[in-house]
Structure 1
Amino acid sequence: MKHPLADLFDGAEEIARAISSRETTTDRTSDSDSDPAHDHDHDDVAHSRRAIGTCHPERLDLVVSEVVEETPSTRTFRLRRPDGRDLPPFLAGQYVAVYADGTSRPYAISSSPARLDHYDLTVRRVPGGRISSHLLDGLAAGDPLTTGGPLGTFHHNPLFHGDDLVFLAGGSGVVPAMSMIREIVDRGLDRRFHLLYGSRDLGDVVFREELDALAAADPRIRVDHVIQNPGGGWAGPTGLLSAALIDALTGPLDGRMAYVCGPQALYPYALDQLTALVLPRRRIRFEANGAPADPTRQPHWPAGTDPAEEVTVTARGTTFRTPRGRPLLDALEDAGVRPEAACRSGECGLCRLRVVKGTVHHAEEARLRLSDPPAGYLHSCVAYPLTDLELDV
């Protein structure tokens, strides 16, 4: 059986072989008058960057090969390279950033990492959502779409997470779970996976037929749907993913790893329920899921600071006004200043900028280095301007 990380190791070996081959060629030709040493150095760097870029690209120019309607509000977009080559390897649970309409949003990959001829991105419409509406209303088979390479830490770690897993999903939070389940089946992994999937109603369940079929056919996979407002004809669990319901469905959680993905409101609720079941915090993993809906509710938001009041921000020679309660990254993009970004949740650090002058609120979601705040660095996707700012972008 091929190890689930083998594709990544194979990619690293390919890079090493490419660099080694290049170095050998350089050694053979270094005495040639027609090929100066500094040209070799330049070629080596360029060759290494190309080799590394095959596994860790900054951008992927892809084409939509198929669109599948999962529910009235959710579609899956199957993406391929125009030339048919395989896509970079990823770990089940990771995401790619989609670049469109002058901004980006992260979307989890729902397809199996065992099948690299395509990525499936399953997108649910968010009320008022800029990019979800852009994709669902305007993207069709044959259209181009630009993404970043795979990123994210929300995936199974075979060294620490064990082989008995519980996943609490709400709404579109089932997407990374789908990728994990498909990998178990495709690669024949010795791993047990129990999905507790909460949905508002029966018409809101994404992947319902496939999930039920996989669970019926494979003893390693168990799926329990929990419907909040079932209406008639539903005999399964109802309500919320409470501690009592989790315990009734999963049994003891001792030694098991729990994953949680869904709307932001699910996270503190799920933590309370799992804690009540005496599951240690180190055995609970949450997917990063955007900037806080209301930064003023965080305990370290300065008292008496009005989030609606505007401040002045200067970056790359551009000056603009923005409310204190709006993420800096969003304000920068709308002003035409577009830092690199991917997760938009404080995790990846690609949007890391330095404050030259002024004060910001760092949201709890920001995974800053210990040295970042003293040196003035922030993650602009989850940073909020408290005073007038000057930024080094």
Structure 2
Amino acid sequence: MNSVERMFVPAQQVEDRLSNAGTWETGTTIWASSEAQILTCARVVDETHDVKSFEFRVGDGTPVRFEPGQFMTVSASVQGQTVQRCYTISSPPTRPYLLSITVKRVPGGTMSNWLHDNMKPGSQLRAFGPSGSFTPTAAPSAQKSLYLSAGSGVTPLMSMTRASLDLGLDRDIVFVHSARTPADIVFRKELERLVALSPRLRTFFLCEGIGNENDWPAPTGRLTLQLLSQWVPDYAEREVFTCGPAGYMNAVQTVLREGGHDPAHYHQESFNFAANATADAAPAATAAPKCDAFQSQETFTVKLSRSSKTFTMSATETVLAAAKKAGVAIPSSCSQGICGTCKTKVLEGEVDMKHNGGIREREIQKGMRLLCCSRPTSDLVLEL
């Protein structure tokens, strides 16, 4: 296994990464999303009655680099079966010695319940490196931002907010978070504290009901154009970052479209939270998607450069599905070209890849491919 150099990045470099279009990778090596490391739990924090934050140090305690808003894939053996799930890193990259994920207990959810019931200080967890492009670097020149989140969707936006405050960037950020009740607002006290530290950060909480908080001072219900216009009159001028359940994000898009917000300045997390909640009840599917009738029925040989293993596969299969069928263990999670966990370098040969945002153009140029959404068009040699 190749070693990975995890180096501390000075604050100026972090600020440059958040403010400009430069890359973290320049002159250094990052923890690759395809490489596994062992995390050791340092602390467990009760955020709400059904949400916990798990703070980890990595390997020998060296710092980790990532972009605020990125996620990582964690892996655990649950009842004798390997389960892998993607969780956003809720801590900011400005605190590189601890990585935290914030997890809501999902009824019937395999991984979320296992974490809540078993993870404690000293416990270990296998994880794959940070990935994802839902970060502030998607809009490096934005002067004003609007963060819209619901439920667990608060986590990537919390990482972005913490990073901005840690660096003293004094950014103009409006953070609107929706929850079922006031008791379900994740990071409520911390967000109130951060507002006191930064006059240009404003927060608004919107709950469907008041629960047991009879003196709740804010409106109840769901986000509307009228309410958004009241809270954020200049929303049309802001770069918008949205994360939450699919239904919430669809509703937000409708509100913004009705209000004349330019879609070119809208960004949302790719994950479908409702689908992930269902997926948490069972391991991710590994079967190949149905193929178009016109696809070739040719077979190709796939060789793994490190292990020297070889298997044959049909052109109608994804490389990931064929590898697992051949008994080759390859880290994966979403199986939809989103999470980036199965990112692998193709040393020889060509594939037809149709991804959903889990890989960047510069990674593609370096020969990386997502095996879950790649079908061979020739014999292959993979860096595995």
TM-score scaled by length of structure 1: 0.67
Q: Secondary structure at the match of 1:219?
A: coil
Which residue does 2:176 correspond to in 1? 196
Deviation at 1:190, TM superposition (A): 3.8
**1:216 matched to which residue of 2?**
196
Note if contact 1:11-1:55 (Cα within 8 Å) is conserved in structure 2. Answer: no
- 1:183 pairs with 141, 163, 184, which one? 163
In structure 2, relative to structure 1, the CA distance for the partners of 1:223 and 1:265 (3 Å cut) is same
Structure 1 residue identity aligned to 2:84: S
Counterpart residue number, 2:331: 340
1:13–1:291 CA distance, 2 compared to 1 (3 A):
closer
Question: Rg larger in 1 or in 2?
Answer: 1
Which residue of 2 is the match for residue 2 of structure 1? Answer: 12
Q: What are the within-5 Å matches in structure 2 for residues 281-360 of structure 1? A: 281-290=263-272, 293=275, 338-342=329-333, 346-351=337-342
Question: Does the aligned pair in 2 maintain the 1:291–1:346 contact within 8 Å?
Answer: no
Cα 1:123/1:346, change in 2 over 3 Å: same
Aligned residues: 310
Equivalent runs, 1:76-155 vs 2, <5 Å: 76-87=53-64, 89-101=65-77, 102-155=82-135
C-alpha deviation, 1:218, in angstroms: 1.3
Q: Say which of 253, 257, 262 aligns to 1:280.
A: 262
Larger relative contact order (CA 8 Å, sep ≥ 6): 2
Against the structure 1 CA distance between its residues 330 and 229, is the aligned structure 2 distance closer, same or farther, given a 3 Å change threshold?
farther
Aligned-partner Cα distance in 2 for 1:154–1:58: 20
Counterpart selection for 2:237 from 237, 252, 255:
255
The answer (yes or no) to whether the contact 2:333–2:341 under 8 Å persists in 1 is yes
Return the alpha-carbon distance in structure 2 between the equivalents of residues 57 and 365 of structure 1. Answer: 17
Query: SS of the residue aligned with 2:148?
Result: strand
- Paired amino acid for 2:240: A
Q: Check 1:221–1:335 CA distance in 2 against 1; reply closer, same or farther (3 A cut).
A: farther
Would the aligned equivalents of 1:345 and 1:366 in 2 still touch at CA under 8 Å? no
Specify whether residues 14 and 252 from structure 1 end up closer, same or farther in structure 2 by C-alpha distance, changes over 3 A only. closer
* In 2: Cα distance, 1:71 partner to 1:167 partner: 21
Within 5 A, what are the aligned runs for 1:53-72?
Answer: 58-72=35-49
Q: Distance in 2 between matches of 1:171 and 1:363?
A: 30
Secondary structure in 1 matching 2:174: strand
* Residues 172-219 of structure 1 deviation map (CA, whole Å, 9 limit, x = unaligned): 111111111111111011411111000001111111111111112311
Determine the structure 2 residue equivalent to 1:243: 225
Shift of 1:163: 2.3
Distance 1:230 1:158 in 2: 35
State the alpha-carbon separation in 2 of the partners of residues 107 and 227 from structure 1: 24
Name stretches of at least 5 consecutive residues in structure 2 with no aligned partner. 1-10, 279-288, 291-301, 303-309, 313-318, 345-352, 361-368, 376-380
Could you tell me whether the CA contact under 8 Å between 2:336 and 2:355 is conserved in 1?
no
**In structure 2, how many angstroms separate the alpha carbons of the residues matched to 1:209 and 1:291?**
24
Tell me how far 1:66 sits from its aligned partner.
0.5
Contact 2:86 2:339 in 1 (8 A): no
Contact residue 69 and residue 134 of structure 2 kept, 8 A: yes
Matched residue, 1:23: none
Equivalent residues of 2:147, 2:241 under 8 A apart: yes
Other structure's SS at 2:54 match: strand
Q: CA RMSD of the aligned region, Å?
A: 4.0
For 1:292 and 1:202, locate their aligned partners in 2 and report how far apart those are by CA, in whole Å: 22
Matched residue type, 2:39: L
CA pair 344-107 structure 1, distance change in 2 beyond 3 A: farther
Deviations 1:35-54 (A, max 9, x none): xxxxxxxxxxxxxxxxx355
Q: Deviations over 1:282-311 (max 9, x none)?
A: 1111101148749xxxxxx99xxxxxxxxx
1:69 Cα deviation from its structure 2 partner? 0.7
**Aligned partner letter, 1:103:** V
For residues 205 and 169 of structure 2, the distance between their equivalents in structure 1, rounded to whole angstroms, comes to 23
